[in-house]
Structure 1
Amino acid sequence: MAEKKRASRGKPFMDGGCDEAPASTQSLVVTSCRKTGRPPLARFWRRMASGLAGTALSGIAGTAMAQQQAIGASRLFTSSEVIFSSFAVGAIAAALLSTIWLVRQRGHLETESEEMRSALSEAQQRISNYEALIADKNRRIVIWEAGPSRPEFLGQLPAESGAPQEDRDFLAFGRWLRPHSAAELERAVEALRSKARSFEMAVETNRDEILDVQGRVSGGKAFVRFVALNNLRAELAELKIERERLVTSINLFQTLLDSLEQPVWHRDPDGNLAWVNQAYGDAVEATTPAQAVQESREFLGSIAREKIRATATVHSPFHDRVSTVVRGNRTVFDVVDVVGKAGSAGMAIDVSEAEAVRAELTRTLKSHAETLDHLATPVAIFDREQRLQFYNQAFARLWDLDLGFLESRPDHNELLDRLRSQNKLPEQLNWRNWKESVLSVYRSLDTQTNRWHLPNGQTLQVIATAHPQGGVTWVFENLTEQVDLETRYNTLVKVQGETIDHLAEGVAVFGPDGRIRLSNPAFRALWGLTEEQTAPGTHIRAIETACAAEYDRPDGWRLFGQMLTNFDDERPSLQGTFELFSGIVLDYAVIPLPNAQTMLTFVNMTDSARAERALKEKNEALRKADELKNDFVQHVSYELRSPLTNIIGFTDLLKTPGIGQLNERQAEYVDHISASSSLLLTIVNDILDLATVDAGIMELNYSEVDVDDLLDDVAMQIADRLYENAVTLEILAPKNLGTIVADQQRLKQILIKLITNAANFSPEGGTVTLRGWREGTDFFFSVADRGPGMSEDMLKTVFDRFSSGKGGKKSGAGLGLSIVESFVNLHHGDVRIDSRMGEGTIVTCRIPSAMNIRSVAAE
């Protein structure tokens, strides 16, 4: 198609591009060129003119021949007619040829148009494919035209990368990129647009995502492509960034080390110098550090290097002081050398001047120590780490501490704890706060002065002076003799005042002239006096007048006045009781004091008097209730037991054949009467036993009881009841359990109560297990059943009286376990119950053996 287009090009008609035409058609062609002036139409008219010219010539030739033939034949037409006919025929032929040519040209034009549309469609398809490829979510392209122009954006970056989705925010790199990445990218984009300088870099977003950025110039346009990296490419970019960081850090540290005044070096794994700083080069008199590395100039001696190589490890760096020669002078350095995978690195700090100062300081301190050691005043010096640096002999004598402990340079905190544990420091209510207050001088530049009153009676003036360089000097001045009287007096006055003011008793002290010296608030409150009425110096007569309205014995205060002002050599004390009109009962006492002073004390005994009266009334009521209870027990014992015994006796008599034959119903009724009477008698006996225990009149008849016989006797007596409940008794006890000193009847009663209770709650066909064993002089026995068990709430009330458990075959009065507990306690034993719901119950009793066989009443 390109070749066709080039072949169809011609010169414009207006510029003389029209081809020469015959004279007959020249005017037509020129007119056409003037009218259109377009190259395609010029070519058309040029071709048309050529055809017309050819047609005209052929027509002229044919006309001439026809004319000759006509002349020769008959000369029918004239010459003008022949010429006109020829022109007409030529015009018709030209028009026909032009039509044919135009049809052919139209076909060519349609073919070319179809080809152009196909090419355009292919180009648009390719453009769509490229745009789809560019619009991937993992890349974005920014395009700038040459010169100042607005950028064009293609594609998007993932949202998780933190890149803005809006075009206007995307070029604000500082908002979504790390500061260093944003600055570097802006410089690269500026160089790309202004100098066409391509670039490729990795940048970090604020969300720690890595982007690959590439800048190129093509076709006069600047292209910057942002690609979101992932997997290996992202890791590679991260490693690249990390490498740049490490390189920057290494360069920075090397620059820092070069600026240090201390020699620093780095050795490779073989021990050869790999890098040194400027100070190292100066120390070994090298022109540059590189020269020192190349010539392997060593800063330390061979012995020191061997020592470092032998002792330094990865986990234990070398740190010691090494002496070496620098510029001809012997110098002491504090050397640190660390070992790693890449070799070792070390640093040397010049401490020669510090060593000289330390030596001078040591000499000075020694001189001062000799001076202070002869002082009688205790002195101790602590360093900035609060460790004991110096102490004199007076300090050691003052605190009487072990010299080995002092020579170990103890911490001040530890020293105070040691003194406190030995009861050598003043007692403090809050030891921690007091200790922090004492040690606060280490954080202050001011001198602190305190007084310590030691438990041994000494008083110390403690002066703590902080040193500007750290540390504190402690001086302890013994002021015991100077402040002993002052301390005693102040302490006495303070204690006396505080004690009297806080006493619940009213206290008033009068001088020999009858004037009050002091009084406490309780005295004023009891007598309804004010502070003005009891001010020091007030005479007892005024106080007597103020107190006269409170009671009906005016001779009381008058008697006090006489005792205060008499001149007898021996002043007697006096005690008594006042009862005021308000109902308050006061116990008073008049107590002589030294220096002819007298103290009056008044104690409010109202509550005690009331309580005493109430106790007396209650005791009287209890005594009467006890008498009533004893009378009731005796009455019930006689009035209930006797009828029940008669009922049981007559019932048994009715069962004998000698009385007469009873029918079946009568015999059944008699059995019911007998069973009910026996049950009622048991309940009455239980109630009487408990009442006897409560009254404290039950006595235990101690005797030697054979345990084997006791168990056999219990098994015989309980057999009928077990048969009625369809329960089997299993006795598990070793033979020859020996004897125990106890009340046999009460022990038997305890066992029968427990077995009866277990049989009542055991299922039919079940087994009640009785176990017995000894532990020393104590006899243990337990009764276990497989009944429904007891809950936690039931266990709390199991020993309460008249508390009968649910789930038994027969309901009782609920006194069995109460009686068991009472009898066991009378034997000074104990009872324990273990029970779980659905698993049964185990009751265990411990009965200690009494030492002597005697009858003991219950307390």
Structure 2
Amino acid sequence: MPALDRGIIIGRRTCAPLVLLAAALKASPAAAALLPSPGDKSGLWAAVDPRTLATTSILLSLAAAALLLAFGLISARRSAARLLAGQQSQFIALQADIDRAEGLLEAQGQLSIVYGPGGISLHGSLAGIENLPREASAIANFRAWIEPATAAALEQALARLRAGGEGFATMIRTSDGERLEALGRTAGGLPVLILRAISADRLEQMRLHERLAALESEAAGLRDLLDSVPAPAWIRDENGTLRWVNSAYARALGCNGSGEALASARELFDPETCKAVAGALAQSARHHRTASINMSGSATGERTTFEISAVRLGKGEAGLAQNVSETEALRDDMSRLIDSHARTLDQINTAVAIFGADTKLRFANAAYRKLWQLDAKWLDSAPTDGEILDRLRSAERLPEQPDYRKWKAQQLKSYSSLEPSRQLWHLPDGQTLRAVAEPHPQGGVTYLYDDVTETLALKSRHTAMMKVQSETLDNLAEGVALFTSDGRLRLYNAAFARMWRLPVADLDAGPRIDQLIAWSRALVDDAGVWSRIKGRITALGDARQTDTLRLERADQSVVDCLLVPLPGGDTLVTYVDVTDTALAERALRERNEALEQASKIKSAFIRHVSYVLRAPLTTITGYTDLLAREATGPLNDKQREYAGHVLSSSHSLLAIINDILDLATIDAGTMELELAPVSIDEIMRTAAQGLEDRIRQADLTLELAESGDIGTFLADGKRLTQILFNLVSNAISHSNPGGSISVTCSREDDEVRLEVADQGRGIPPEMQEVVFERFESLAPGAGQRGAGLGLSLVKSLVELHGGEVQLRSVPGQGTTITCIFPISPQAAARRRQARQILSASERPERQDGPAPDGLARPAAAG
């Protein structure tokens, strides 16, 4: 009952006695008689003083009021006592109800948090939650005893409940891992948060629900993932009917979406392929739930290869078809590449073996099999690295080791190493191998074995040769210096330092050519010479050429300098002291000039005498011929014989004079050959016809070995006939009666060889060196010596053609003279160049005696 209502009741109950008292007095006649009437002015009323009466009335009224008030208070007190007792009964009943409710809440194991205007109140309790705070303010601080993520979600849901009355139901996890159910409700207009423990059944139910939600989310994610995969994917039921396909499947069928693809009931592959997938799944069902096969299809309009992976889902299946056409092509290319590399590795001399991460042999080339001489079938069985080492050790093919196990373990460490290892293996058979173990980043090792036996031997020989060369350089009389392309001194010997009077310490510092020139100007102050030397040392490209020059020094000595460019840009410079040689050369040059002048005078005299003798000899020959032909009258036998002798002698003398004139012309350098294509066979016949009488008189046989396949070559036909005539004449003069003379001709490459051979007495060895000199001849038997011009003229004419003459003679067995002619001027030029090179290589080196003590010193590297 409200307080205002209770006050009204109490007021009414207090005034009730007063009202009753007034009514009693009015009802009693005696009482009424005692009371004067207001209108009665006699009797008692008249005897009473009005003031006294008024006072008495007031006092009586007050007494009556006090009396009534006392009765009212007593009655009100009694009523209040009765009301208080009723309220206490109600309070006790309500408290009992509250206690019963609290007991029920605690019995249910839940805690209610009421958010009222005066703050937070707690009702009930949670048993078994050790980390649960006891104070309301502490419980309201959710982040202190609930997991952060759960606490944040709970705070957001509670905020919505308090703001708009939005209820919620969720599960929270405490920081100790306990799970609680949180319910948000409104009661009596107040937000209430109910926390209660979860029963085992409820917890299992919630776990199943969470698992179901997670599986549904996972399935949805997987479907979304499969839908984004560019490869077709599908799910079938136990009847083989499509239940789900992804977008790639629909696109492959030309459909707008998965729904249209399922509605069309079209298959991506033909029935045989689908049966093959089902069969593969059935075969793999005993051991695996998945199957993978490669099939061909034409879903995209082109024949492609798919790798179909299927997995059994209950009684149905799920499949994924990946287009592996490019992968298969790459696999084929990789296979061909591996085969190509294997064939390439089989062609190299380096032994190569590749081992996998499991230490088993993956590949061994032909050189590896040949090196270790292991059984091919055994190697094909993929033995391990350790097994191969053990077998090689048994065959005594490995280096001798005092502790084989330790050595083997060290070798196998390459599989766990990141850096390659290099070793030299000295095998028992004398071979030396360079063994390289190259670890692979993905596991495994590649071994490379090179036979360096010969390399080490060559290196040893090279070292020995370098020592010999160093000793040789140290003992040279020539000054030797080696310069780099930038002009820095790299190597020198003691003779160089001594020749230029330079301190060894300065040369050891590797000075540049400019500094050396500055130091050497005291001996040679010729800027042109030094500029030329510097230019050759620092030249590049085609400007790097061999050069020689002579230096005349201030100390009256003469030094020859030779600059030779070397591969790599270096330049070798040698200095030779030729002071004595220069003096001798100067003297010889002066003497040679005098001899040349005398030879010119002699040649001019002989030419002049020959011309002078030729005119009267021609006259004598002419008149003698007239007499021999009896143009002036008949001759007797004796006169005819004398005329024949005169005529023969005149012709011989004329031939000698002509030879002298030809030689003089050659010496003067004025003879010019009339080159034209000539036939050697025709030349041979012409020369034979001119010598028929002499051959007949000498009782000899001339054999001409004509060769029609030689053809023609460029030569002076007249001089070629003269050469052959003189050669055959010389053979006739030195042949015995009854003998034979052979003339042969052959062609080899770009030269023609003409040979004249006789069976005469031959030429003594001491005369073979001078037989081609002028005025040198051998007496034919017991006869008179000739003029000695025939062979000399032959040699001069052949050399004028660019050829050469060779002589082979054995005393008592005859003589063979070979004339070699080039077939063209170009061939003649090549032959002359070859003779010059051969002559230069055969020229004896100058020997100035051993050098004093001195070592070749390498200069400091620049």
TM (norm. structure 2) is: 0.44
User: Which has the higher relative contact order, 1 or 2, with Cα contacts under 8 A spaced 6 or more apart?
Assistant: 2
Structure number with bigger Rg: 2
TM (norm. structure 1) is: 0.44
